[in-house]
Amino acid sequence: MTAWAKPAATEPAAGNQHLAVATSGLGKQYTRGLRARSKWALRDCTLEVPEGRICGLVGANGAGKTTLLRLLVGLARPSAGDVQVLGQRPSDSGQFLREVGYLAQDIPTFRRWSVTDHLRMGAALNPSWDAVATRERIQSLDIPLDQRVGTLSGGQRAQVALALALGKRPRLLLLDEPVAALDPLARRDFLSTLGAAVAEAEGHLTVILSSHLVADLERICDHLIVLANSRTMLAADLDDVIASHRVLTSTRRDVGPIDRQHTVLRVEQTQRQTRMWVRLEGPLTDPTWDSDELSLEEIVLSYLEYHPPADADRGPGITNVAHLGGVS
Amino acid sequence: MTWLIWRQHRMQVGVAFAILAALSILLWVTGLDMSHSLRGCKASPTCSGGDIMNKYRAVTTIVNITVAVPLLFGIFWGTSLMAREFETSTHVLAWTQSISRRQWLNRKLLALLAATVLCSAGLAAIVTWWWGQTSNSNRFDGARFQIEGVTPIAYSIFAVALAAAAGAILRRSLATLGVTIFGFAAMQVLMNSYLRSHLVHPLTALTPLGPDNDIPGAWIIGRELLINGRATKGIVQLPAQCAGTKSRPDMNGCLSESGYQFATKYLPSSRYWTLQYLESGIYLALAALLIATCVIVVRRRDA
Amino acid sequence: MLVFRLTTHSSVPAYVQIVQQVRQALLAGVLRPGDRLPTVKDVVSELAINPNTVLKAYRELEQEGLVEGRQGVGTFALRRPDGPPPAAQAALTRSLERWIGKAREAGFDDAGMESLLRTCLMSSADEAIA
């Protein structure tokens, strides 16, 4: 074990205890024809995202990431449960849409339009448009304003779309796998621009960013949501996540005592050794276990492979949500 | 929003109005020329209106082709209104700015329908004027009923509404195109071959056989042969006494004396506008239904 | 202008790395009292990390009395932390660089060098106690 200091819990900005997003039992169902059974794209989703966070949304493909984001911006209506975004239900009104920015997965743009045309559209459709800052942001990335968007590189197009979404100065920004198709340099540039925008906003901009590249999320995010099988596995501050997840190693023995006190995500047992990936629900009282930190990637993988026990609704297993640390 | 609608549709609207302008100039020039020639012709005993009109055959063909214009509105303007927008997901871009779906949809529909009315009305006006310069005084003749007056405006609105509704439901350009063409053609066929003749109650007149049976300016819906006041069915035998006649006029005269005449069902030219308004009304009512469908589908469905 | 570098996948949290680099810069004289630290926005642009990480680092430095945050203007260095004088710092840095060169030639990688350093630190701490 290293002797480095443990990370302090992130303190929210002074006086800013508001929630950007709060969902309760949120679900979305798609019907396929009249006779086929309907599929739940998202089920029993209960989570909270405090304001000012950059929140990573992780999950396998089809886990419900896109569905959740579309529900938050109002492009889809919930089949069950409740969702509150910036204190109100998503509605088809200028007043709500002004505050929420959205970047869809395929980055829709008008391919034949120039960058300037897109900026013009932003100015025409958004009363709170910041024309000067948006143009500067794009020019500082050396993107030519008169070029057709269809001929830009993937990274440049993503940056233009990001600038468009930020241009109306939203309070919440939802990004659906914006960097999935970008090369590492373009990815880095995109996340830099995003982080800089959040820094500039000084706590007034919340970002939810879905991705399956955990390394990126580790750097830029301070909050994490994990979805698997259309359910919420985890929703907590990143520091708390890292601090509370451990891999316990010991000579082969019974997992019962640990299982009763903490949440076991995965167990590997060989003839000689027992290894358990756990989420600590309290202090680890048994010193005979070797406890090692887990990387975020390993933590996320454990959740993606995790299958809650059949009686998950009773007992200490993960039901649908894990609230850790100060998030209540 | 106005800027957005303009920017998205400026090419199509521009092209359409440019074509309208070109056509207008062509028809105006030829129309004046034609009416001048016809006036001169009337004064002279040796010339006939038909000969003059022959010289303008090409322009006449162009004018008659404008019967396809309403469908073109549907194909070009209608599919870009909804289908292409959904197909390229640009609606997501528009719906996540600061404007509500409802506003976006209403303004778009209003703008393009208004442009459709303007453009088709302009074309109908110039075509109506042009035909008025000709020697042909029957407004029901051929395609004239469909390209003059207010019917072409109603057809155009219907075509655009059909494409909008199909686009909102199908969200694919190609499929919408197919539905628009098929739906529009089906409606036109239905109207032309059946509905139109039933919209206004026709008059019946007894007319003799031969060239005098023409009712000027009227739409001849049907003719029935009567022998001594009784309707005939199927193949009719020539009466014995007329078997020997040699020339057509003599034959007609003989048959008339034998009690042969036509009961002609027709619509007089005084009923022209009633029929125009009724037919247009049907198309506009359908268009209203389609627009309502489009609005409901777009507002209710997930993006 | 002070540029930060972060080692990803290190057991040292990012904010601690920033704190250490600011301290090093102050010790070496690269950053002098009164100089302005890079803004949060600049650091985030450069490193693509979360702004709160930088804020946390600057707050910790403020608590140690090494820097001072002025609202709307930026964060400014206050004083040099306790440590060897710049000349000694520079000399030690040079001999360390030479040692690193030799260790690399001998076949050590970064992790190996780190663990060797740690072992020596621990044994010298034991000696100090003894």
Same domain assignment for residues A87 and A187: yes
Measured distance CA(A21)–CA(C100) in Å, rounded? 50
What's the pLDDT score for residue B224? 82
For residue A139, tell me if it sits in a domain: no
Q: What is d(CA B282, CA B196) in angstroms, rounded to the nearest whole number?
A: 10
DSSP symbol at C80: P
What would the two tokens of residue A317 be? 């297993």
The domain of A50 spans 19-107+169-229
Set of chain A residues whose Cβ sits within 8 Å of the Cβ of C46: 192
Q: How many other C-beta atoms lie within 10 A of the C-beta of residue B135?
A: 15
CB distance C48–A200 less than 8 Å?
A: no
Does ipTM come in above 0.95?
A: no
User: How far apart are alpha carbons B35 and B133 in whole angstroms?
Assistant: 5
A158 falls in which pLDDT band (50, 70, 90)? Answer: very high
Q: Do residue A31 and residue A94 come from a single domain? A: yes
Selected residue of C5, C19, C44 to mutate for chain A interface (largest A Cβ count, 10 A): C44
CB-CB contact of B159 with B70 (8 Å): yes
Shared domain check, A43 and A67: yes
- Cα–Cα distance, A178 to A197 (Å, whole number): 16
Q: Give the whole-angstrom CA distance, residue B257 versus residue A155.
A: 91
Phi, psi of B39 (to 5 degrees): -65, -45
- What CATH number has the domain bearing residue A282? 3.30.70
Is A193 in contact with C14 (Cβ distance < 8 A)?
A: no
Q: What is the pLDDT along chain B (303 residues), one digit of tens a residue?
A: 899 999 999 999 999 999 999 999 999 999 898 888 888 887 777 777 777 778 888 888 899 899 999 999 999 999 999 999 999 999 999 999 999 999 999 999 999 999 999 999 999 999 999 998 887 788 888 788 999 999 999 999 999 999 999 999 999 999 999 999 999 999 999 999 888 888 888 888 887 777 666 777 888 888 888 887 777 777 777 777 777 767 777 777 777 777 788 888 888 888 899 999 999 999 999 999 999 999 999 998 888
Predicted local distance difference test score (pLDDT) of residue B176: 95
Q: What are the structural domains, with CATH classification, of chain C? A: 14-77 (1.10.10.10), 86-129 (no CATH)
Instruction: Say what the pLDDT of residue C121 is.
Output: 87
Residue C85, phi then psi, degrees to nearest 5: -65, 160
A65, part of any domain: yes
**Do residues A212 and A254 share a domain?**
no
By the CB < 8 Å criterion, does B54 face chain A? no
Is A142 a member of any domain? no
Report d(CA C66, CA C58) in Å as an integer: 9
**Domain co-membership, A183 together with A296:** no
pLDDT at A75: 93
Candidates C7, C23, C45: best to mutate against A (most CBs of A within 10 A) is C45
Mutate to test the interface with C, among A198, A223, A293, A299 (most CBs of C within 10 A): A198
A291–C contact, CB cutoff 8 A = no
Phi, psi of A50 (to 5 degrees): -70, 160
Q: Please check whether residues A194 and A253 belong to one and the same domain.
A: no
Outline where chain B has alpha helix (H).
Answer: 2-43, 49-55, 57-65, 69-72, 79-81, 83-87, 90-95, 101-132, 144-147, 151-170, 173-190, 196-199, 248-257, 272-300
Tell me if A125 and B97 make a contact (CB, 8 A cut-off). Answer: yes
Would you say residue A111 has pLDDT above 70?
Answer: yes
Q: Do chains C and A touch (3 or more CB pairs under 8 A)?
A: yes
Confidence grade of residue C130 (pLDDT, cut at 50, 70, 90): low
Domain assignment present for residue A136? The answer is no
**A40-49, A245-254, A255-264, B210-219: the lowest-pLDDT one:** B210-219
Q: How far does C8 lie from chain A, in Å, by closest CA?
A: 8
User: Which residue, A184, A205, A229, sits at the end of a domain?
Assistant: A229
Q: Is residue A161 part of a domain?
A: no
Which among A70, A97, A117 is the nearest to B7, CB-wise?
A117
Does A141 map to a domain?
no
Do A99 and A185 share a domain, yes or no? yes
Residue A314 lies in a domain: no
Give the tokens for residue A28.
Answer: 């979305």
pLDDT band per the 50, 70, 90 thresholds, residue A7: very low
Same domain, A223 and A249: no
Residues A172 and A183 sit within 8 Å (Cβ to Cβ)? no
Q: B: neighbours with 3+ CB pairs under 8 Å? A: A
- For residues C87 and C78, the answer to whether their CB atoms sit within 8 Å is no
Put simply, the answer to whether A168 touches B4 (Cβ < 8 Å) is: no
Q: Are residues A177 and A53 in the same domain?
A: yes
Residues C25-69 have pLDDT tens digits of: 888 888 888 889 999 999 999 998 999 999 999 999 999 888 888
Residues from chain A that touch B96, judged by Cβ atoms under 8 A, are 73, 75, 97, 100-102, 104, 165
Domain match, A245 and A103 both: no
Reported as type and span, the H/E element at residue A67 is helix A65-73
User: DSSP state, B61?
Assistant: H
Which H or E element spans position A267?
strand A263-269
Q: How many domains, chain A? A: 2
What's the pLDDT band for A322 if we cut at 50, 70, 90?
Answer: very low
User: From the CA of C97, how many Å to the nearest CA of chain A?
Assistant: 24
Distances (CA, A) of A59 to A168, A177, A224, C45: 29, 11, 11, 27
Residue C31: count other Cβ atoms within 10 Å of its Cβ: 22
Q: Which of A182, A197, A229 is the last residue of a domain?
A: A229
Residues of chain A contacting B101 with CB distance shorter than 8 Å: 92
Distance CA(B121)–CA(B117), nearest Å, equals 6
On whether both A101 and A185 belong to a single domain, the answer is yes
pLDDT(A4) > 60? no
Distance CA B129, CA B123 (A): 10
Question: In whole numbers, what is the pLDDT of chain A averaged over residues?
Answer: 83
* Burial class of A177 by CB neighbour count within 10 A (0 to 12, 13 to 18, 19+): buried
Q: How many CB atoms lie within 10 A of CB B154?
A: 25
Contact A322, A235 (CB under 8 A): yes
**Same domain for A88 and A183?**
yes
Which chain C residues have a beta carbon less than 8 Å from that of A196? Answer: 41, 44-45
Q: How far is C128 from chain A (nearest CA, A)?
A: 18
The reply to whether residue B302 touches residue A75, judged by beta carbons under 8 angstroms, is yes
Do the domain assignments include residue A119? Answer: no
Q: Which residue has the higher pLDDT, C130 or A301?
A: A301
| Diameter over CA atoms, chain B | 87
Q: Is A170 left (phi over 0), alpha (psi -120 to 50) or beta?
A: beta
Q: For the purposes of burial, counting CB atoms within 10 Å of the CB of C46, is it exposed (0-12), middle (13-18) or buried (19 or more)? A: middle
> What pLDDT score was predicted for residue A317?
34
Quick check: A222 and C52 CB within 8 A? yes
Q: How far is C43 from chain A (nearest CA, A)?
A: 8
A79: domain CATH number is 3.40.50.300
